[in-house]
């Protein structure tokens, strides 16, 4: 199906990336690559997973979550290509099923993520969506060649997703779709009219409890929006 439903023709959809457009968390996947030879790989991967969840559930500021995870991984440029390959295999099933409609709506779809352009952009491009509609962070190599958070990144601080969404200047109705507390903040700070908790990959009760819409998949999102926007 590639016809845009009438109730969506004037809407702007703001999608999160991790555990939304893709089924996993990119930095968790990166840990599997970066720590492949580490003797304590299992314990460190699990610690990163815990930090990821703390950031997504609002128990830890997102900038602190990003900093801690990158510091544990010592990311280098050669790790990015295998990461992108992994992520391209993890596109959420309902996103795959509805790829034609998403491509038809590409001018109305924005990706707002606390992740990084270096791996989000190639996945978004492969989906046929607009790379220039990605709002995310960037990596910057230090003198040792280790990739760190670029200080100029726009989506790395508390409230930064909401600021990024507001700066787009999209007309209502605007819908933020994601699995984390930073996605809810886009709604709570007035940068969108609806927040849809995406639960196809992970259910975070603290986030779901704040949502206008529960979206177990893209079809469920469409069904809910048909009622909200009719």
Kindly report the backbone phi and psi dihedral angles of residue 148, in degrees, each rounded to the nearest multiple of 5, phi listed first: -125, 170
**pLDDT by residue (tens digit) across 175-195?**
999 999 999 999 999 999 999
CATH number at residue 204: 3.40.50.1000
Q: Quick check: is 67 in a domain?
A: no
Question: Which of 55-94 are b and which e, b meaning 16 or more Cβ less than 10 Å from the residue's Cβ?
Answer: bbebebebbebbebbbebbebeeebbeebbebbeebbbeb
Q: Quick check: is 30 in a domain?
A: no
**pLDDT by residue (tens digit) across 187-218?**
999 999 999 999 999 999 999 999 999 999 99
* pLDDT above 70 for 171: yes
**pLDDT by residue (tens digit) across 85-119?**
999 999 999 999 999 999 999 999 999 999 999 99
* Domain encompassing residue 136: 6-23+91-228
Q: Quick check: is 195 in a domain?
A: yes
Is the bond into 26 cis (omega within 30 degrees of 0)? no
Q: Quick check: is 133 in a domain?
A: yes
Instruction: Provide the number of structural domains found in the chain.
Output: 1
**Structure tokens, 130:** 């607009």
3-state secondary structure of 198: strand
């Amino acid at each position: 199906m590639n016809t845009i439903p009438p109730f969506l023709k004037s809407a702007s959809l703001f999608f999160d990336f991790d555990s939304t457009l893709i089924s996993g968390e990119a930095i968790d996947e990166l840990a599997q690559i970066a720590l492949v030879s580490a003797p304590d790989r299992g314990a460190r991967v699990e610690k990163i997973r815990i930090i990821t969840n703390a950031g997504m559930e609002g128990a830890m500021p997102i900038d602190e979550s990003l900093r801690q995870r990158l510091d544990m991984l010592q990311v280098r440029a050669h790790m990015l290509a295998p990461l992108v390959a992994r992520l391209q295999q993890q596109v959420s099933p309902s996103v795959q099923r509805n790829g034609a409609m998403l491509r038809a709506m590409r001018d109305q779809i924005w990706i707002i993520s606390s992740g990084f352009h270096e791996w989000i952009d190639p996945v978004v491009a492969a989906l046929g969506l607009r790379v220039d509609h990605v709002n995310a962070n960037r990596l910057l190599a230090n003198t040792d060649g280790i990739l760190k958070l670029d200080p100029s990144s726009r989506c790395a601080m508390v409230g930064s997703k909401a600021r990024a969404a507001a700066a787009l200047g999209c007309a209502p109705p605007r819908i933020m779709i994601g699995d984390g507390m930073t996605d809810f903040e886009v709604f709570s700070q007035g940068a969108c009219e609806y927040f849809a908790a995406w639960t196809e990959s992970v259910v975070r009760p603290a986030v779901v409890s704040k949502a206008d819409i529960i979206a177990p998949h893209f079809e469920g999102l469409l069904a809910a929006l048909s009622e909200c926007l009719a």
